[in-house]
């Protein structure tokens, strides 16, 4: 059990990352969203306590954990690396942050319906730039990039009007036209969208 005062973990990324094992901390600078970006994105995605946010490719749960503390919404992460899900859910359970959870699985089998907000940190990128891969544990290929991206675009189009979307470091040139770009921040890396039709 982590016994420190809970908000102490959010003082800086380095302090937050200290919750995790060393191999996870080493991935943080490149692969996990910084806390100042999470704060802006989470407040946009979860304006009230009915908000249900999904992080597609959740890693060790940094976005879900911090988002659940910056807002009153609930945050679920889908993640294909089992060790990340195990590490993240252990910390969630130790901290008692029950509005955050991680689910083990591949996004290709995942249905976004029921969620009011979607977060996407360019999670499929490692399929087209192998040097950006987090580890060698999963299959990667340009074909998988196309398959995952198509699944994402199809699901985005099927979401109800009013769905909120936050993208970070996104390579995709096309967010469907039915999403209006409302705001961008952090040198345009974070983009906030709402589905209009």
- Binding marks (x or -) toward ligand SAM, 17..46, rule CB under 6 A? --------------xxx-------------
CB of 173 to ligand SAM, least distance (A): 19
Tokens of 111: 């249905």
Residue 179's CB is within 10 A of a number of other CB atoms, namely 23
CA distance 188 to 37: 11
- Binding marks (x or -) toward ligand SAM, 120..149, rule CB under 6 A? -x-xx---------x-------------x-
Number of residues that bind ligand SAM (CB under 6 A): 22
CA distance 31 to 11: 19
CB of 62 to ligand SAM, least distance (A): 4
* Residues of this chain, 56-85, that bind ligand SAM according to CB under 6 A: 57-59, 62-63, 78-81, 84
CA distance 53 to 119: 7
CB of 161 to ligand SAM, least distance (A): 25
Task: Tell me whether residue 137 or residue 157 sits nearer to ligand SAM (CB atom).
Answer: 137
| Secondary structure tally for the chain: helices H, strands E | 7, 7
CA distance 155 to 113: 8
Task: Tell me whether residue 32 or residue 70 sits nearer to ligand SAM (CB atom).
Answer: 32
* Residues of this chain, 153-192, that bind ligand SAM according to CB under 6 A: none
CB of 136 to ligand SAM, least distance (A): 12
For position 89 contacting ligand SAM by CB under 6 A, the verdict is no
Strand locations in 80-152, DSSP E? 100-104, 117-120
CA distance 6 to 2: 9
CB of 196 to ligand SAM, least distance (A): 25
Strands 190-195 and 52-56: unpaired
List phi, psi (to 5°) of 129. Answer: -130, 85
Question: Which positions lie near ligand SAM, rule CB under 6 A?
Answer: 31-33, 55, 57-59, 62-63, 78-81, 84, 106-108, 121, 123-124, 134, 148
């Amino acid at each position: 059990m982590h016994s420190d005062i809970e908000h102490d973990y959010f003082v800086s990324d380095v302090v937050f990352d200290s919750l995790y094992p060393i191999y996870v901390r080493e991935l943080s600078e490149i692969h996990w969203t910084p806390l100042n970006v999470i704060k802006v994105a989470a407040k946009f995605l979860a304006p009230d306590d009915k908000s249900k946010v999904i992080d597609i490719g959740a890693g060790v749960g940094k976005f879900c954990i911090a988002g659940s503390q910056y807002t009153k919404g609930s945050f679920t992460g889908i993640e294909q690396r089992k060790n990340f899900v195990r590490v993240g859910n252990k910390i969630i359970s130790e901290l008692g942050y029950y509005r955050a959870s991680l689910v083990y699985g591949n996004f290709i089998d995942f249905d976004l319906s029921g969620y009011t907000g979607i977060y996407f940190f360019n999670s499929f990128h490692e399929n087209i730039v192998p040097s950006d891969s987090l580890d060698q544990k999963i299959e990667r290929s340009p074909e998988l990039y196309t398959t995952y991206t198509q699944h994402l675009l199809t699901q985005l189009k099927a979401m109800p009007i009013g769905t909120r979307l936050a993208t970070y470091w996104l390579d995709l040139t096309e967010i469907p036209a039915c999403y209006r770009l409302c705001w961008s921040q952090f040198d345009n890396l974070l983009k906030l969208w709402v589905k209009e039709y």
